[in-house]
Structure 1
Amino acid sequence: MLTKRANPGKRSALITGVLLLVGLLTGIFSVVPVIDGADYLVKSSLNENQVITGSFFQLLMIAAYVGIPILMYPILSTYNKGLALGSVAFGIIAGVFIIIGVIILLLLLTLSHEFAKVGTLNESYFQTLGGLLREGRDLVNHVATTLTFVLAMFLYNCIFYQTKLVPRWLSVSGLIGSTLSVLASLLFMIRFIGLDEAYMILNIPIAFQQLVLAIWLIIKGFNRPTQDSVSY
């Protein structure tokens, strides 16, 4: 049984909220439509700035994906050290996968430049290699990265639920949204769904919860935990 604790730092809550917004915005701006198009081998080199910009914003995502659980660790570990540490671990792993995804994206750009030099010579070779790189990028971005970061979110929302550091409705929506996002990644991994409407619908709840949580933390900060919160 814990005695009532002082309200966790407003500054930490504010920075966490900002990083949540950064994660959402960089996710939007990191999309590279030219890579997902049918003529990506031709158009990627012609739209190099789009690829470079997408890579830049993907790298910025690391600050959010890794920074959020690390920033909250000193607060959350007070109440459940195991879950807080797990959240940090998954956040760091997600950051590593983001770097891998950026490397693959830049390799696709290099492949496009090489294809432009040789024209249609050995086109099947370039198509095969490009297809493998795109497949790998999709699995890294939409399975590995998404799963690890969403699991990090699931763990810290578990602590939020236990302690009421944020309202229960907000932590519950995070747990539900995380579960749906995990389901989306697993269904995509086994090719039951693609990067289509079904995938987007399953990921909307966690994105909306992330937005609301960010606004809540920026404006309200963390609540005082309940007296019956348990530390581990």
Structure 2
Amino acid sequence: MAEEFHDTACDASYRHHLQGICVDKKAIYWSFTTTLVKTDLNGKVQLTIPVANHHGDLCFHNGKLYVAVNLGKFNDPDGHADSWVYVYDAATLRELARHEIQQVCYGAGGIGVRDDRFFVVGGLPDGIDENYVYEYDDQFNFIKRHVIKSGHTHLGIQTATFANNRWWFGCYGEPKILIVTDPEFRMLGRYEFDCSLGIVGLPDGRLLVADGRCQGEAGCTGWVRLAVADEKLGLRLCGN
């Protein structure tokens, strides 16, 4: 149940930084670029596997993890990305499938799911003042490219989740940016809130947002905090 979720940290560190999170009722899944990690709700590591660079944001659906993967260049105006979705069994982290999604021409970086369809986001070259969302069916047949009239965000969109009947997108930049849209990707707001390392909705309407840091030889860590929707701020951390 959602009330079991709380602010917590992954209890290990990894070579590369956190890219995204997702959850089921009993576990948190963390993508650390080259390591996929499963923990319990207290952050205790249960499973880890090495994965290809660059594994980005991920989502959980029907017992499986779907990870946005780019094996090529990000944010290249000439589109030299190599975009995929890798699929893993959530119970064991065993790889199940790979789906090529080369329509995501600036590099797949984030993924969300709604109504058995998958929505992939990713990189963005300088000088483009909108973002793109690529829609696929449950077999990863391409359906449509959606446009978000968001203005430019640094390196595009990093994380995505559908919750509370709206889309939430985390972006890099200084400051970090949260984009919120309606189900059809019409803008509802652009806020200064950092969920660029992970965001996922919970059954009770709250959201879990991720953060992390890298400290040289000590490696990279990650943690999650509960948040709620806020009309003025976009999101507000619970307890703030």
TM-score using structure 1 length: 0.26
| Bigger RCO (CA 8 Å, 6+ sep) | 1
User: Per residue, is there more strand in 1 or in 2?
Assistant: 2
User: Per residue, is there more helix in 1 or in 2?
Assistant: 1
Q: Which of structures 1 and 2 has the bigger CA Rg?
A: 1
